[in-house]
């Protein structure tokens, strides 16, 4: 495609450039998945995932200052000590801007690359639970004030405040401690993006953020409600867990230009996707007739599949008269809603998703969503109120509020002021990535007492800065 660097897949400089653009646009964090197996049509496109999530984000960490970075690390074929060490090192390198998406592996091709077969689902999740607990214990093996280097006295750290964990289970274990002191945010933030009943249990026990695979606004609301109910049943404050539904955008002057751009990027895969679309609509479709719309007889016979929540939207697009190629370009079989066209449509979608959810986490009433430029990365933001942070400290539990973009702070009281969601302002920022006037920092070290309490319970407290960062 014109204007696209064909060697971008191996260019860490390009990855850093994408992250810097997202940071200028006030995105709150980048989300990087992992798929350690060959995937994609090499004849026409590079593999779909970054070369390596940790190496990519290490490069991003050195080229950015505020944007958060969430990487996927599977617990199925990785030992918890390695995960704890890698993510803690990246958290220290980035000055406390890292999150860990803790999920099991589900693809047999990945298992084959490790010379193994996939274990049963129940076993994978038992190992995941053990791994998360071992990793968190390793992250907390240094007390908050254990590291106090003093060049005058020659003192480096207090050995009495660095302790082994000696924690083991049926599948994993570790003696500890890590040879790494606490980062500026204490320890990385835990995310979850596995989905399903088992993923919901992981999220309500450990996660501070959940990346949702949602197909519609209604689906996103249903998933968020289920997550909040599960958190409450597990004895947690539902506002401690942030739910981030996805959105894929291709911004262009009009719908036709947006669809043409998506066709230029991924159109070579459409003949293989026709079969999936046919199942969604209950029809027989011919891949050789991609440039024709469905006939009147086909539209009359079409029925959305009850097993695929994307099917009603696919039928709606088909009834608008688009060709098969254009129907697929609308992203009807993608895993997030797709906006291809003017920025106003993206703004309308985001506002439609936020209006009914008046009572957002930490007392906030509105939320805005934007998608980063980094491939396969999604970011969201929310504002917090100091009372929620104080409550989290009192309970020695995690305060996982992610700051809004922009966040305006009352200099006298330090309380958060709800940002405006004026549509035209949002449109201009989406189209031009113009920097906002202020944004809250990704992290701030938490009060020592709360850290000590959380560490004894195998948890950690994650606080937000009350000071805006101005350019």
What is the residue-wise DSSP string for 27-89? Answer: --EEEE----S--S-TTTS--SS-S-HHHHHHHHHHH-SS-EEEEEEESSSS-HHHHHHHHHH
More confidently predicted of 150 and 363: 150
d(CA 334, CA 317): 14
Report which DSSP code applies to 152: T
| pLDDT > 50? residue 263 | yes
Instruction: Find all residues with CB under 8 Å of 7, minimum gap 6, and list them.
Output: none
User: Which of the four pLDDT bands, split at 50, 70 and 90, describes residue 381?
Assistant: very low
376-394: average pLDDT: 31
Structure confidence by residue, pLDDT tens digits, 9-36: 899 999 999 999 999 999 999 999 999 9
More confidently predicted of 436 and 112: 112
| pLDDT > 90? residue 3 | no
Structure confidence by residue, pLDDT tens digits, 286-343: 999 999 999 999 999 999 999 998 999 999 999 999 999 999 999 999 989 999 999 9
Instruction: Supply the pLDDT for residue 356.
Output: 52
d(CA 460, CA 450): 8
User: Which of the four pLDDT bands, split at 50, 70 and 90, describes residue 384?
Assistant: very low
User: Which of the four pLDDT bands, split at 50, 70 and 90, describes residue 355?
Assistant: low
Are the beta carbons of 436 and 353 closer than 8 angstroms? no
pLDDT above 90 as % of the chain: 64
Are the beta carbons of 336 and 247 closer than 8 angstroms? yes
Instruction: Supply the pLDDT for residue 45.
Output: 77
| pLDDT > 50? residue 212 | yes
CATH superfamily of 8-249+346-470: Luciferase-like domain (3.20.20.30)
d(CA 128, CA 233): 21
The full set of domain ranges for the chain reads 8-249+346-470, 253-340
Are the beta carbons of 274 and 268 closer than 8 angstroms? no
Q: What average pLDDT does the chain have?
A: 79
Instruction: Supply the pLDDT for residue 242.
Output: 93
Structure confidence by residue, pLDDT tens digits, 226-262: 999 999 999 999 999 999 998 999 999 999 999 999 9
More confidently predicted of 129 and 404: 129
d(CA 313, CA 14): 35
9: helix, coil or strand? Answer: helix
Structure confidence by residue, pLDDT tens digits, 124-176: 999 999 999 999 999 999 999 999 999 999 999 999 999 999 999 999 999 99
337: helix, coil or strand? Answer: coil
Structure confidence by residue, pLDDT tens digits, 61-107: 999 999 999 999 999 999 999 999 999 999 999 999 999 999 999 99
More confidently predicted of 450 and 41: 41
């Amino acid at each position: 495609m014109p204007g696209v660097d064909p060697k971008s897949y191996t260019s860490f400089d390009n990855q850093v450039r994408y992250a810097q653009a997202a940071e200028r646009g006030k995105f709150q964090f980048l989300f990087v998945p992992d798929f350690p197996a060959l995937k994609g049509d090499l004849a026409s496109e590079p593999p779909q995932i970054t070369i390596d999530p940790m190496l990519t984000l290490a490069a991003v960490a050195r080229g950015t200052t505020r944007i958060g970075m969430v990487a996927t690390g599977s617990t199925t074929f990785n030992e918890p000590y390695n995960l704890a060490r890698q993510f803690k090192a990246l958290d220290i390198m980035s000055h406390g801007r890292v999150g860990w998406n803790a999920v099991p592996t589900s693809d047999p091709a990945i298992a084959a690359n490790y010379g193994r077969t996939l274990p049963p689902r129940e076993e994978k999740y038992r190992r995941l639970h053990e791994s998360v607990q071992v990793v968190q214990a390793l992250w907390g093996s240094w007390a908050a004030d254990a590291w106090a280097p003093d060049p005058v006295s020659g003192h480096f750290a207090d050995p009495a405040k660095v302790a082994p964990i000696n924690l083991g289970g049926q599948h994993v274990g570790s003696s500890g401690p890590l040879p790494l002191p606490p980062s500026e945010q204490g320890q990385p933030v835990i995310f979850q993006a596995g989905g399903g009943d088992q993923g919901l249990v992981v999220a309500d026990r450990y996660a501070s953020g959940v990346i949702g695979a949602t197909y519609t606004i209604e689906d996103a609301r249903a998933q968020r409600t289920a997550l909040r109910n599960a958190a409450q049943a597990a004895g947690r404050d539902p506002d401690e867990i942030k739910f981030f539904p996805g959105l894929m955008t291709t911004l262009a002057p009009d719908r036709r230009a947006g669809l043409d751009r998506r066709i230029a990027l991924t159109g070579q895969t459409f003949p293989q996707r026709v079969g999936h679309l046919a199942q969604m609509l209950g029809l027989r479709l011919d891949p050789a007739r991609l440039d024709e719309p469905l006939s009147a007889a086909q539209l009359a016979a079409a029925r959305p599949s009850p097993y695929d929540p994307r099917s009603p939207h696919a039928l709606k697009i088909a009834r608008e008269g688009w060709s098969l190629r254009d129907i697929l370009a609308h992203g009807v079989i993608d895993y997030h809603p797709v906006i291809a066209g003017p920025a106003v449509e993206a703004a309308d979608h985001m506002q439609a998703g936020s209006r009914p959810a008046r009572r957002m986490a930490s007392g906030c009433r509105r939320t805005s969503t934007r998608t980063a430029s980094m491939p396969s990365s999604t970011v969201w933001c929310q504002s917090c109120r100091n009372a929620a942070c104080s409550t989290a400290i009192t309970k020695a539990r995690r305060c996982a509020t992610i700051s809004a973009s922009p966040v305006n702070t009352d200099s006298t009281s330090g309380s958060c002021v709800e940002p405006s969601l004026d549509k035209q302002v949002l449109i201009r920022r989406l189209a031009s990535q113009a920097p906002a006037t202020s944004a809250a920092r990704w992290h701030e070290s938490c009060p020592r007492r709360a850290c000590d309490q959380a560490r004894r319970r195998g948890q950690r407290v994650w606080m937000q800065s009350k000071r805006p960062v101005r350019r």
